[in-house]
Structure 1
């Protein structure tokens, strides 16, 4: 069984995916420059909410972030054409990780997936064919790869879909309440009869669960593969048209390259590529077995552990957000809130409400109110601001949050000085109130 993982197969899927991923990254980087995303997330803010522990990771000053994204676009072009592939992919991955960990005002699981895919692509010789590198350095040219390369990609996307499906098993998804919020946002007067229909909300809810749970098995099974591929394309195009979720639908459709026989992908998309001989197909490639054993096995153990860590943290992750990130909990709730920060000078006992607009953008203020980690970071920012002036202050927060348009409840214990608390990454922070606590 294990020997079958090392059998040679055509590397067309890996080559095609390199090109498609590169094109998507080019579009993503350049569109973010021109649609205002770089400005609103990296240039305009006076302070940024990086991942806790990575506060040193800050946007470049002035027009630096525009140069940063243009550099990413250049590296993405190099990935696409396979020029200095390892170098380009390594630097693009570092820069992409920088944008991901640098700000979480707008958090996107899809960007995390892309980071993981970039790491995987960095490990594989995706420039071995149809690349500038293989033209310049013919010695690296290869037409085959071990079968396990394909299974790495399939396992990665299977983990994403599986945990996305499991996360939907909560009341407001199952009863169509949340999917109703999504569909009613679709601004098309010709289909309001559908988007406001509760039966349609239930169809979307259970269809989403079944799609996430079954799409990978259906794509793996030859007899259902074509139907599953059509469903996948339709599903992702619908999401792209209706939900404004960036490049993820096209990334998902690109992934279909790993579910069809490599010879089929070669015949369809790399027609000039010679097919492998029978002797080559019967060969075994053990050159990268240590990569599988010592990198990818630990890698997937981590990938399976991260999405379940919230089960070991007190409270409901839907409310506390503890264990939410890096767990494929995508588009599950409508969560809005308000947060008032009260500052108290410990020397004079004077207190006042802090004006968040002095340091934060409207987008940051809107998004931090229901996220305890960002609330805690804001308290630290305020404390440091006054410490520079020689003042020792306490910061108390009254944050009220509504989940799926229900009555607002207190999220943060207003009696706790957040300026002098520590963030606990691995357990529940007791100053985050549970849903029925102290209400």
Structure 2
């Protein structure tokens, strides 16, 4: 039964159509990042970037190099959509996107992480065996079949994303709609819908529907009797998200995923009229079956475990942020902070307060006081800058306070700890983050 589920030969129309949509969307994401000024603001203007810790060596290209970087990614997207040099293009895009994802966190977004994961999976899929330049140039490549595991690993990935997103919302500030009040307040100046978004009953609808949609959308798309209704709801939900939260291509990528839930003949009838499908459903184990099972098993195990790692870290993830990223904890909190950095020369005890504006961009200034990894990284940066001048220094975060979801500011970082002398633990707690006193850990 397990073999039939994963290794049946099924029609590949959904994969071919998804490849086209995916290529178009990542091209728009890449070219749009240049056009909107995102590349300039995030990767060119800052003196340094807050990269993922451990990837300090991964820095933006000098000068206008990042514009060319994104132009190449956009070109890869076009090639992917056309099915031209597919394997080279998808691997190239995946590596470049991973690079830009890891070299900055000032614009961290869960959807950027999902885009990398899907790009990574697409590197292994036979997505160019039809509706592609490659298949026209090489007819022997053309086929209308794929193994069913291609579909099911996408479905499993989406199930994990939405399920964890739903579970993460089951905490106080979402359930009492407090965080939604804050998020909507930030959008009060939107034309036409701004005033509507301030209504309390609208907040209740958004809060409840967010939990229910995330929990049920994948099962509803899988079950044929509810599939069309779920698809209509998906269109409304994701387009509304696009308008309200302006989160780039993700709502449209989410809609593109729905091709994997409909019958292949439906997809062919809509997008590939006149193209012959594959009516059979034969089980045919590939020669590398064991390797496929091992790879898929390891991948899905990692995806299942990463989002729960914060339960094994001391204190509340809502306060410490330890274990927040890569966990599908989306739209859950609003953080603001206040902070000063004191640098003390170890040789003579001379001290000075750092002028943050001399080192950080406007976007970075909005992050630096509220996130512990940013605070630690900036301390390391100050240490390195002084080392270049021949000085050995200590760095302290003083007057550090954080407000979460509009609540009163509370002391955040221990002002007596020399952060320049601290190491970073990716899977543990940092004692220089003061206790939250929330009472219960956020689930």
Which residue in the other structure is 1:379 paired with?
379
For 1:251 and 1:434, the matched residues in 2 are separated by 39
1:208 counterpart = 2:175: no
Gap regions ≥5 residues in structure 1: none
Q: Aligned-pair RMSD on alpha carbons?
A: 1.4
Do the aligned partners of residues 361 and 189 (structure 1) sit closer, same or farther apart at CA in structure 2, a change above 3 Å counting? closer
Superposed displacement of residue 272, structure 1: 3.1
For 1:172 and 1:287, the matched residues in 2 are separated by 51
Do the aligned partners of residues 406 and 326 (structure 1) sit closer, same or farther apart at CA in structure 2, a change above 3 Å counting? same
For 2:191 and 2:231, the matched residues in 1 are separated by 30
Which residue in the other structure is 2:276 paired with?
274
Instruction: Give the stretch that moved more between structures: 357-366 or 310-319.
Output: 357-366
Q: Look up the SS of the partner of 2:123 in the other structure.
A: helix
Do the aligned partners of residues 189 and 148 (structure 1) sit closer, same or farther apart at CA in structure 2, a change above 3 Å counting? closer
The match for 1:218 among 189, 209, 220 is: 220
Q: Look up the SS of the partner of 2:338 in the other structure.
A: strand
For 1:157 and 1:257, the matched residues in 2 are separated by 13
1:424 counterpart = 2:425: yes
For 1:160 and 1:109, the matched residues in 2 are separated by 10
For 1:230 and 1:337, the matched residues in 2 are separated by 40
Do the aligned partners of residues 350 and 188 (structure 1) sit closer, same or farther apart at CA in structure 2, a change above 3 Å counting? closer
- Within-5 A mapping of 1:7-46: 7-46=8-47
Which residue in the other structure is 2:251 paired with?
249
Which residue in the other structure is 1:166 paired with?
167
For 1:297 and 1:396, the matched residues in 2 are separated by 44
Instruction: Give the stretch that moved more between structures: 428-437 or 229-238.
Output: 428-437
Do the aligned partners of residues 192 and 240 (structure 1) sit closer, same or farther apart at CA in structure 2, a change above 3 Å counting? closer
Q: Is the 8 A contact 2:345 2:351 kept in 1?
A: yes
Superposed displacement of residue 289, structure 1: 2.2
Superposed displacement of residue 200, structure 1: 2.3
- Within-5 A mapping of 1:31-430: 31-184=32-185, 185-188=187-190, 191=193, 194-278=196-280, 281-282=281-282, 284-287=284-287, 289-398=289-398, 399-430=400-431
For 1:426 and 1:204, the matched residues in 2 are separated by 33
Q: Is the 8 A contact 1:145 1:285 kept in 2?
A: no
For 2:357 and 2:403, the matched residues in 1 are separated by 22
Q: Is the 8 A contact 2:11 2:279 kept in 1?
A: no
Deviations 1:314-342 (A, max 9, x none): 01111100001100011111111122101
Deviations 1:341-362 (A, max 9, x none): 0111111111110112222112
Q: Look up the SS of the partner of 1:9 in the other structure.
A: strand
Q: Is the 8 A contact 1:38 1:65 kept in 2?
A: yes
For 2:331 and 2:317, the matched residues in 1 are separated by 14
Gap regions ≥5 residues in structure 2: 439-443
For 1:359 and 1:424, the matched residues in 2 are separated by 25
For 1:94 and 1:183, the matched residues in 2 are separated by 36
Do the aligned partners of residues 288 and 220 (structure 1) sit closer, same or farther apart at CA in structure 2, a change above 3 Å counting? farther
Q: Is the 8 A contact 1:345 1:393 kept in 2?
A: yes
Superposed displacement of residue 288, structure 1: 5.0
Q: Is the 8 A contact 1:186 1:242 kept in 2?
A: no
Do the aligned partners of residues 190 and 91 (structure 1) sit closer, same or farther apart at CA in structure 2, a change above 3 Å counting? closer
Q: Look up the SS of the partner of 1:342 in the other structure.
A: strand
For 1:263 and 1:196, the matched residues in 2 are separated by 44
Superposed displacement of residue 287, structure 1: 4.5
For 1:241 and 1:295, the matched residues in 2 are separated by 38
Deviations 1:14-36 (A, max 9, x none): 00010001000111111111110
Superposed displacement of residue 284, structure 1: 2.4
Superposed displacement of residue 198, structure 1: 2.1
After TM superposition, the score normalised by the length of structure 2 is: 0.95
Superposed displacement of residue 149, structure 1: 1.1
Q: Is the 8 A contact 2:414 2:433 kept in 1?
A: yes
* Number of positions where the alignment pairs a residue of Structure 1 with one of Structure 2: 435
Deviations 1:103-128 (A, max 9, x none): 00110000100100001111111001
For 1:389 and 1:190, the matched residues in 2 are separated by 55
For 2:30 and 2:274, the matched residues in 1 are separated by 31
Q: Is the 8 A contact 1:338 1:401 kept in 2?
A: yes
Q: Is the 8 A contact 1:307 1:328 kept in 2?
A: yes
After TM superposition, the score normalised by the length of structure 1 is: 0.96
Instruction: Give the stretch that moved more between structures: 200-209 or 310-319.
Output: 200-209
